[in-house]
Amino acid sequence: MIIKLERLKIQSRRSEEAINITALVEEAIAQSGVQNGLVHVMTTHTSSGLVVTEGIPCLEQDILTHLARLFPESEDYHHRRYLDYDGRLGFNADAHLKSVVGGISCSFPIENGKMARGSRQTIYFMEYDGPLERTCLIQILGE
């Protein structure tokens, strides 16, 4: 049984952005040597997310647009206050709520050294409050 954990650094460059990380996850699987098992991917940040959808720009745009419609920046949020544990103001509740609704992780089976996924399924790191350097965890289990 092999268990490997990789920390993937992602530099987002915009305030909101969908970044295709499918190839990076495939590469981590290839480097792990695991032929059959499971890969789990998770963002470590609560104002970002991870989604799986068809890998086309119109859908990237739709996800961001409609999450923004659900959680407008102008809405009234309790989070808008000084966070005394952090030395900062919290006013990005919209980003946190997008993360909650959109999800923060995904899992795929590994078969013959590759992700077993649908031909359209693409893994996106979702930036909701960038630009920032972010970290995703990729855990690979198998043999």
Partner 1 sequence: MIDFHTHPVLIRELVAQDPSFERAAREVFYIGNNFQPFETFLLQMDVAGIERAVLLPVACRRARQVDVGTNEQIAELCAKSPRLIGFASVDPGVKTAPSDLERAVRTLHLEGLKLDPALQDFDSGGPEAWAVYEAAEALEIPVLIHTGLSWAPGSALERGHPLRLESAIRRYARLNFVLAHFAWPWVWEAVALAMKYPNVFLDTSCLYYDSPKEFFEFVFTRQIPITLVERTLANQIVFGSNYPRVEIKNMVRALRALPLTEGCLNKILRVNAERLLARGH
* Min CB(86)–partner 1 separation in Å: 4
Residue ranges in 2-143 assigned as alpha helix (H): 22-32, 57-70, 93-102
| Contact positions vs partner 1 (CB under 8 A) | 11, 13-15, 74, 77, 80-82, 85-89, 91, 129-133
The answer to whether 15 and 134 have CB atoms below 8 angstroms apart is no
Give me the amino acid identity at 101.
Answer: V
Selection from 59, 43, 61, 18 nearest residue 106 by Cα:
43
Q: Which long-range contacts (CB under 8 A, 24 or more apart) does 76-83 make?
A: none
Instruction: Pick the closer one to partner 1 by CB: 95 or 110.
Output: 95
Instruction: Pick the closer one to partner 1 by CB: 79 or 114.
Output: 79
* Min CB(89)–partner 1 separation in Å: 6
Instruction: Pick the closer one to partner 1 by CB: 10 or 140.
Output: 10
* Min CB(84)–partner 1 separation in Å: 9
